[in-house]
Amino acid sequence: MSDAILDVRGLEVSVTAHPEIKIVRGVDLVVRPGEIHALMGPNGSGKSTLASAIAGSPAYRVDGGQVFFKGEDITAWRPDQRARAGMFLSFQYPTAIPGVTMVNLLRAALKARRGADVPAREFLAEMRATLEQLKMDESFARRYVNDGFSGGEKKRAEILQLGMMRPELAILDETDSGLDVDALRTVAEGVNALRRPEMGILIITHYQRILDYIRPDVVHVLVGGRIVRSGGPELAQQIERNGYDPILQELGLTREPAKAGA
């Protein structure tokens, strides 16, 4: 599997502040260049926790298993090392950072990703091109990061960063949540516009509707912290029609109660 971008092996994750709360209970997942994987599951199944743990969030603790990124074991890496290596997490709830403009964030992020200062002119040209690609106004870049942004603006700001950072793995954590149909289409079209053959995408979603715009190659269903089923795009359509219950019943699983924030 040397060509895998992401190779998650037997990953077990708990909450750092409450190690007794085990959320991810042994996940295996391989994403290759150009592939789009959708990770679906009911509320509280551990989808966002898995995304955060792959990105290295200190809020979560890896209790077992490994994460390989481009062939390297990054399980112990800090989040910034992972990002510089080419991993990008689009947050479900992007954090507001008053006083820090999008421009300042993008410049610092680009400098970190490339390991060198990006000349101002070059940076501005790239930013303008990406803004245009995403049909975003330039005034957006002068605003404070996510501060006072609408739900749709926050998600577009994430995709703007994705576009500038040019990662090799993009994890989109519920990028569709809180968006109306038009905003969802704009964001999804943005993601499609930014696709590159060398980039893998992992889309975390509760609903199938974003997958109407971004077609997955593989769909995984996460229940109780484990991937219980993987299949093609038809699996997502089946979930859209019938919900998760038929899968749970088939597996002899009862649906677990939702965990806040998981």
Partner 1 sequence: MTQAIEAAGAEARERGEPDWLATRREDAARAYASLPAPTPALRPWRYTDLTGLDFASFAPAHVPLQVTGTLAAGGYAGSLAAAGDREVVRTHLGSLLPPTEGKFLAANAAQWRDGVLVHLPRGAAAAAPIVVTLDASALAQAAIYPRLLIVAEERSEATIVLRLTSGDAPLVVIGAIEVIGGPASRVRLLIDDGWGGATSDFTWVRARLERDADLQVAALAIGGALFKQTVEVELAGEGATSAIRAVALGDGTQHFDFVTLQDHVAPRTTSVVEVKAALAGAARSVYYGITRVAAEAIGADADQANYNLLLSGSAKADSDPVLEILTANIVRCGHHATVGPVDQEALFYLESRGLDRRTALQLLVAGFFHSVVGELPLPGLAEQLDDRVAAKLATAAL
Residue 118 CB, nearest approach to partner 1 (Å): 13
3-state secondary structure (DSSP) of residue 233: helix
Q: Which is nearer to partner 1, 115 or 257 (CB)?
A: 115
Alpha-carbon span 237 to 249, nearest angstrom: 18
Binding of partner 1 by 118 (CB under 8 A): no
Helix, strand, coil percentages (3-state) for the chain, rounded to 5, are 35, 30, 35
Residue 108 CB, nearest approach to partner 1 (Å): 6
| CA within 13 Å, CB half, 245 | 3
Binding of partner 1 by 140 (CB under 8 A): no
Query: Which among 43, 44, 55 is positioned nearest to 11, based on CA atoms?
Result: 55
- Which residues, 6 or more positions from 189, have their beta carbon under 8 angstroms from its beta carbon? 213
Q: x-or-dash pattern for partner 1, window 45-74, by CB under 8 A?
A: ----------xxxxx---------------
Binding of partner 1 by 112 (CB under 8 A): yes
- Residue 99 dihedral angles phi and psi, to the nearest 5°: 90, -20
Among 89, 134, 210, 221, which residue interacts with partner 1 (rule: CB under 8 A)? 89
Part in contact with partner 1 (CB under 8 A); list of ranges 27-35, 102-110, 175-183, 198-206: 102-110
Q: x-or-dash pattern for partner 1, window 3-42, by CB under 8 A?
A: ----------------------------------------
Q: Which is nearer to partner 1, 21 or 100 (CB)?
A: 100
84, exposed or middle or buried, with CB in 10 Å at 0-12, 13-18, 19+?
middle
Rg (CA), the chain: 18
Amino acid of residue 69: F
Q: Which is nearer to partner 1, 83 or 239 (CB)?
A: 83
Residues that bind partner 1 (CB under 8 A): 55-59, 78-80, 82-84, 88-89, 91, 94-100, 104-105, 108-109, 112-113, 144, 161, 165
